[in-house]
């Protein structure tokens, strides 16, 4: 076999490095071996192994939300991509930039319909904003540059590049230069004028924000607008990334349940959207509305998701003559040490008391994390990353990816026991990479949210067979043993005093820890 100067996989890795991609979350197979070898021979990309593709894609989501740029994934053929779809769904809902590299059979091998052949594009399209399959080694580098640019297209999206094996091993000419990073589109003067008129109208107005507006500069501009007009400031139930805690402008988070949303928005006459969509219920329920705004309420778009919402808020604040200083912010106040029984509320108070400044909360606590959300409103400033798409199994890998992106910040994962079992493999990656993540498992031995939903949907004749489908006893999960088997130090807290001591110790230390909180 004639040795070649550079193959397609090497040209792709060099292109990714040049475009700023420095991390690859991976679970490769035979078709991806040339890409694996290129990661070894070419410096600039940190390869991180995940033991399941759902963990790989969840880690890429956490990385992208915190780094503000894409990592790449490396996945094996259609089945490997399919295993990662649930967390790519969550990433799509979060508008997270991700570049998926999915290996495929060599182009000439496709005619034989080998056992692992599948419709990779068909799997990729529902979760990707951009999909392409390379046709030759000569185009792989330019395809990679296009994939990175696509992933960075505002507000961010999943870009999937399919890499047939022969396009990876055949000769290539070299890397492609990075393409210009797309910028958010400018918001029209008319949109700013309409929003200003609405805020001056005297009608009860709320501003619903998403995306970059939920970081410090956007919240400051929104706080100025609220101070000048009295407008309510809102964020979605599952806003992808929100800075919160002491010193940050406070927002009202839209509730989860539909009837609560209807009540929450009952007096709103005008809703101004900044990178967000009008709120609707997560599911349909018999006899209950899906659309949650009051009849006759006006909806205005200050900025669509692909537009510059931060610039629009700052322009709106200027138009209104809003004061440059003085927006109301959360004070710094920690709860007293709670007493009594260990539950989600007392556990939340413990978390607030010990949470360090700059922490990242990766939250898939479901029915058990509400206490922590209440208690941390005035805790040390931190970022909150929730379950954006509703597909459980996101929390542990999301936390791992955030820790890779922000190695000097403490990451705390609030995780329900049911969701934890979907992607528990990410604990192994945390141990292997020595990531500073503390995972708090709320162990209620139940799919708690489904017990609630069973009643809400009006299901009839509910008996022991139905209830057994929502119960995690018989046998009970033992997260101390599970975590230990994956290389993560773990303890169990059965009392409030146990949890306080264990969580304080985890916050003072470094590296992966797990605490099973028995509720």
Per residue, what are the HEC states of 470-518?
A: CECCCCCCCHHHHHHHCCCEEEEECCHHHHHHHHHHHHHCCCCEEEEEE
What is the per-residue pLDDT for 474?
79
Question: Buried b vs exposed e over 421-460: b needs ≥16 C-beta within 10 Å?
Answer: ebbbbbbbbbbebebbbbbbbbbbebbbbeeebbeeeeee
Task: Give residue-wise pLDDT tens across range 303-339.
Answer: 999 999 999 999 999 999 998 876 789 999 999 999 9
User: With 60 as the cut, is the pLDDT of residue 1 above it?
Assistant: no
What is the fold of 8-169? Rossmann fold (3.40.50)
**In this predicted structure, what is the pLDDT of residue 417?**
93
- pLDDT score recorded for residue 415: 97
Closest to 196 in 3D by CA, of 184, 186, 185, 207: 207
What is the reported pLDDT for 375?
97
CA 195, 242, 250 angle in degrees (round to 5)? 65
Mean pLDDT over 158-177 rounds to 97
- 3-class secondary structure, 440: strand
Convert the pLDDT of each residue in 421-441 to its tens digit.
Answer: 999 999 999 999 999 999 999
pLDDT digits (tens, 9 = 90+) for 60-109: 999 999 999 999 999 999 999 999 999 999 999 999 999 999 999 999 99
**Pairing of β 252-253 and β 242-244:** unpaired
Question: Which class is domain 189-319?
Answer: alpha beta
Residue 238 predicted with pLDDT over 70:
yes
CA distances from 422 to 69, 86, 206, 396, 418 (A): 26, 10, 37, 9, 8
Q: Give the chain's length.
A: 519
Q: Quick one: pLDDT at residue 460? A: 67
What DSSP character marks residue 171? B
451 pLDDT tier (thresholds 50, 70, 90):
low
- Which residue from 433, 245, 270, 252 is spatially nearest to 351, judged by alpha carbons? 245
pLDDT of res. 458: 67
- Fold match between domain 8-169 and domain 189-319: yes
- Minimal CA–CA distance to 91: which of 421, 436, 397? 397
Q: What is the pLDDT of residue 189?
A: 95
Closest to 26 in 3D by CA, of 463, 449, 490, 404: 404
288 has pLDDT over 90: no
User: Tens of pLDDT along 291-311?
Assistant: 999 999 999 999 999 999 999
Residues 6+ apart with CB under 8 A from 244: 250, 251, 330, 376, 377, 381, 382, 383, 384
**So what's the pLDDT on residue 338?**
95
State residue 3's pLDDT score: 66
Q: Are 374 and 345 in contact (CB under 8 A)?
A: yes
Domain 344-518 has CATH 3.40.50.970: yes
Q: How confident is the model at residue 468 (pLDDT cuts 50, 70, 90)?
A: confident
Indicate the domain borders of the chain.
8-169, 189-319, 344-518
Mean pLDDT, the chain, integer? 94
Contact 415, 442 (CB under 8 A): yes
Average pLDDT of the residues in 182-211? 97
Over residues 31-39, the mean pLDDT reads 96
* Reported confidence tier of residue 444, pLDDT bands at 50, 70, 90: confident
What distances in angstroms separate CA 515 from CA 44, 68, 498, 503, one per listed residue? 35, 29, 10, 8
Chain centroid to CA 295 = 32
Least confident of 137-141, 312-316, 467-471: 467-471
Q: How far is CA 190 from CA 64, 133, 166, 231, in A?
A: 33, 41, 52, 20
CB 396 within 8 A of CB 427: yes
pLDDT value, residue 455? 66
Q: Is the pLDDT at 465 greater than 80, yes or no?
A: no
Instruction: Report CA 363 to chain centroid distance, whole Å.
Output: 9
Higher model confidence: residue 473 or residue 81?
81
CA gap 197, 501 in Å, rounded = 54
Distance CA 199, CA 395 (A): 38
**What is the average per-residue pLDDT within 441-451?**
79
Weakest mean pLDDT among 10-14, 57-61, 256-260, 376-380? 256-260
Checking if the pLDDT of 284 tops 90, the result is: no
Q: In the structure, what pLDDT confidence band is assigned to residue 367 with cuts at 50, 70 and 90?
A: confident
Pairing of strands 232-235, 252-253: parallel
| DSSP helix/strand/coil, 409 | coil
């Amino acid at each position: 076999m004639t040795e070649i100067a550079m193959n397609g996989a090497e040209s792709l890795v060099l292109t990714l490095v040049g475009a700023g991609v420095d991390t690859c979350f991976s679970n490769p197979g035979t078709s991806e071996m040339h890409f694996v070898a290129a990661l070894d021979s070419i410096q600039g990309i940190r390869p991180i192994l995940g033991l399941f593709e759902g963990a790989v894609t969840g880690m890429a989501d956490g990385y992208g939300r915190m780094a503000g740029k894409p990592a790449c994934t490396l996945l094996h053929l259609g089945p490997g991509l399919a295993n990662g779809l649930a967390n790519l769904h969550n990433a799509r809902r979060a508008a997270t930039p991700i570049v998926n590299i999915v290996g495929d059979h060599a182009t000439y091998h496709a005619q034989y319909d080998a056992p692992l052949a599948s419709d990779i594009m068909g799997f990729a399209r529902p979760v990707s904003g951009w999909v392409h399959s390379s046709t030759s080694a000569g185009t792989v580098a330019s395809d990679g540059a296009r994939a990175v640019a696509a992933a960075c297209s505002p507000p961010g999206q999943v870009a999937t590049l399919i890499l047939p094996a022969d396009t990876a091993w055949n000769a290539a000419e070299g890397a492609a230069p990075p393409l210009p990073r797309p910028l958010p589109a400018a918001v029209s003067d008319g949109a700013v004028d309409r929003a200003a008129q609405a805020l001056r109208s005297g009608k009860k107005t709320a501003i619903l924000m998403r995306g970059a507006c939920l970081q410090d500069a956007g919240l400051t501009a929104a706080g100025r607008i609220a101070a000048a007009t009295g407008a309510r400031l809102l964020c979605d139930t599952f806003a992808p990334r929100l800075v919160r805690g002491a010193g940050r402008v406070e927002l009202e988070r839209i509730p989860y349940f539909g009837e609560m949303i209807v009540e929450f928005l009952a007096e709103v006459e005008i809703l101004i959207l900044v990178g967000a969509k009008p709120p609707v219920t997560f599911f349909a329920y018999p006899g209950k509305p899906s659309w949650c705004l009051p009849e006759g309420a006006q909806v205005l778009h200050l900025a669509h998701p692909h537009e510059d919402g931060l610039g629009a808020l700052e322009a709106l604040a200027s138009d209104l003559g809003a004061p440059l200083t003085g927006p109301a912010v959360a004070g710094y106040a920690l709860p007293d040490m709670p007493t009594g029984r260990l539950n989600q509320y007392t556990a939340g108070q413990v978390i607030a008391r010990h949470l360090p400044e700059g922490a990242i909360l990766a939250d898939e606590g479901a029915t058990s994390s509400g206490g922590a959300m209440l208690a941390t409103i005035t805790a040390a400033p931190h970022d909150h990353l929730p379950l954006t798409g509703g597909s459980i199994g996101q929390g542990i890998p999301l936390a791992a990816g955030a820790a890779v992106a922000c190695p000097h910040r403490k990451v705390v994962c609030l995780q329900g026991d049911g969701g934890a079992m979907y992607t528990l493999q990410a604990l192994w990656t945390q141990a292997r990479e020595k990531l500073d993540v503390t995972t708090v498992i709320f162990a209620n031995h139940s799919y708690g949210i489904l017990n609630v939903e069973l009643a809400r949907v009006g299901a009839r004749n509910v008996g022991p067979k139905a209830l057994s489908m929502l119960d995690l006893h018989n046998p009970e999960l033992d997260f101390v043993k599970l975590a230990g088997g994956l290389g993560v130090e773990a303890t169990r807290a059965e009392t409030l005093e146990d949890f306080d001591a264990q969580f304080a110790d985890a916050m003072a230390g470094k590296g992966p820890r797990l605490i099973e909180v028995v509720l």
